[in-house]
């Protein structure tokens, strides 16, 4: 399908948003593009490697992904220290541009910053936890980005149609309690697809955490946060008929968003609120793009672990 065809589909969506859910193309695109990330996730479960230094890791990756002869470039660099215990390092840059295919990829890694130990007990334990968490996160990032770059290169070498791959990163949380790295992934092959991965480390324990780790055992955080987000969706739809979310649809209830997941993307903003992040197509049609909802701290504060 050509780009003009996708534009026509989106125009029909905007003209009659209720008909959008009967168009199978976007859902198929979601499944197809998600598959590459899911395969990388599956590979992670099958193997684990020892922690290696950034220089050696970069050399290994250059062997895995050689210069194919097109305009490709790799560069090493580093970012400033972004946390008391952590650095975000630009592990590798990958650039490609040739006959309808272009890529702009920044592959990050996290390293544990050297810290003067004032307490040999707890501080040493926390540093050990942090090193393990960083190793797991770096392995995940490496697997995901390698898979996406390899698939992009295969498509570029075939030379059919056109394609885009962009991967960027930023530190979205860096306070006394948490460090969160955001990995933004954009893929396009006719139509675009935006997705994210968030990696959060609890600075007090040094451990990587998921959203459920924030809350007391037995607390109904899933229902409370999910209902708050649904209320925000309803409010946005009532304010503007151009807004559309997959909620409260009686005709096609199977499309309705049920609630946050165990591995839900999230981060804390500067005010201590939780920001819940959704990939494109996850809670709304493609023309709405990726979505973020801020759940204010008073909504969940009483449920947080101490």
Is the pLDDT at 58 greater than 50? The verdict is: no
Residue 188 is encoded by which pair of tokens?
């396009």
Is the pLDDT at 6 greater than 70? The verdict is: no
| Residues 6+ positions from 70 with CB-CB distance below 8 Å | 96, 97, 98, 156
* Per-residue pLDDT, 62: 31
Report the pLDDT averaged over residues 269-283: 96
Nearest to 131 by CA among 70, 53, 193: 53
Counting every residue, how long is the chain? 306
Distance CA 76, CA 159 (A): 28
* Per-residue pLDDT, 189: 85
Residue 237 is encoded by which pair of tokens?
């739809």
Per the CB < 8 A criterion, the answer to whether 115 and 85 are in contact is: yes
- Helix/strand/coil percent split, the chain, to 5: 40, 30, 30
Domain ranges in the chain are 31-209, 216-303
- Which single residue is written with the structure tokens 């589909």? 9
Neighbour count for residue 276 (Cβ, 10 Å): 21
Report the pLDDT averaged over residues 206-235: 96
Sheet containing 178-189: which strands, arranged edge to edge?
71-75, 86-98, 101-112, 163-174, 178-189, 191-202, 208-209
The CATH number of 31-209, from 1.10.3720.10, 3.40.50.300, 3.30.565.40, 3.20.20.70, is 3.30.565.40
Q: Average model confidence (pLDDT) for the chain?
A: 77
pTM of the model: 0.73
* Per-residue pLDDT, 115: 53
Is the pLDDT at 19 greater than 60? The verdict is: no
219 — pLDDT class (breaks 50, 70, 90): very high
Q: pLDDT (tens digit, 9 = 90+) per residue, 80-131?
A: 333 357 878 888 999 999 888 999 999 999 988 655 544 444 566 777 788 8
Nearest to 103 by CA among 143, 161, 152, 160: 152
Per the CB < 8 A criterion, the answer to whether 198 and 266 are in contact is: yes
Q: pLDDT (tens digit, 9 = 90+) per residue, 35-49?
A: 554 554 555 444 333
Rounded to 10 deg, the angle between the 24-46 and 122-158 helix axes is 130
Report the pLDDT averaged over residues 63-72: 38
More confident residue, 57 or 286: 286
Nearest to 89 by CA among 137, 47, 50: 137
Report the pLDDT averaged over residues 151-170: 90
Per the CB < 8 A criterion, the answer to whether 179 and 173 are in contact is: yes
Residue 209 is encoded by which pair of tokens?
């955490």
Q: pLDDT (tens digit, 9 = 90+) per residue, 243-253?
A: 999 999 888 88
Distance CA 188, CA 172 (A): 25
Question: Any idea what DSSP says for residue 302?
Answer: G
Is the pLDDT at 303 greater than 80? The verdict is: yes
Q: Does domain 216-303 have CATH number 3.90.640.20?
A: yes
Neighbour count for residue 128 (Cβ, 10 Å): 12
């Amino acid at each position: 399908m050509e780009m003009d065809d996708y534009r026509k589909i989106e125009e029909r969506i905007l003209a009659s948003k209720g008909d959008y859910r009967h168009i199978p193309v976007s859902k198929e695109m979601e499944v197809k593009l998600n598959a590459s990330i899911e395969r990388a996730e599956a590979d992670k479960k099958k193997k684990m490697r020892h922690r290696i230094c950034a220089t050696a890791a970069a050399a290994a990756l250059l062997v895995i992904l050689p210069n194919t002869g097109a305009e490709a470039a790799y560069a090493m660099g580093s970012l400033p220290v972004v946390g008391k215990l952590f650095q975000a390092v630009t592990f590798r840059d990958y650039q490609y541009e040739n006959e309808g295919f272009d890529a702009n990829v920044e592959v990050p890694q996290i390293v544990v910053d050297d810290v003067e130990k004032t307490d040999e007990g707890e501080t040493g334990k926390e540093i050990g936890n942090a090193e393990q968490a960083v190793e797991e996160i770096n392995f995940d990032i490496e697997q995901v980005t390698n898979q996406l770059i390899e698939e992009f290169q295969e498509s570029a070498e075939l030379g059919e149609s056109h394609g885009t791959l962009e991967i960027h990163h930023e530190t979205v949380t860096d306070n006394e309690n948490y460090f969160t790295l955001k990995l933004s992934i954009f893929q396009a092959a006719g139509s675009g697809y935006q997705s994210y991965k968030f990696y959060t480390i609890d600075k007090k324990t040094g451990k990587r955490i998921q959203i459920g780790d924030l809350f007391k055992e037995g607390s109904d955080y899933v229902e409370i946060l999910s209902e708050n987000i649904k209320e925000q969706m309803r409010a946005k739809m009532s304010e503007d008929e151009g807004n559309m979310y997959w909620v409260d649809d009686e005709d096609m209830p199977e499309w309705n968003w049920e609630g946050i997941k165990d591995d839900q993307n999230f981060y804390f903003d500067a005010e201590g609120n939780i920001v819940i992040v959704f990939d494109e197509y996850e809670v709304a049609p493609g023309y709405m793009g990726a979505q973020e909802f801020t759940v204010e701290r008073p909504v969940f504060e009483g449920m947080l672990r101490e």
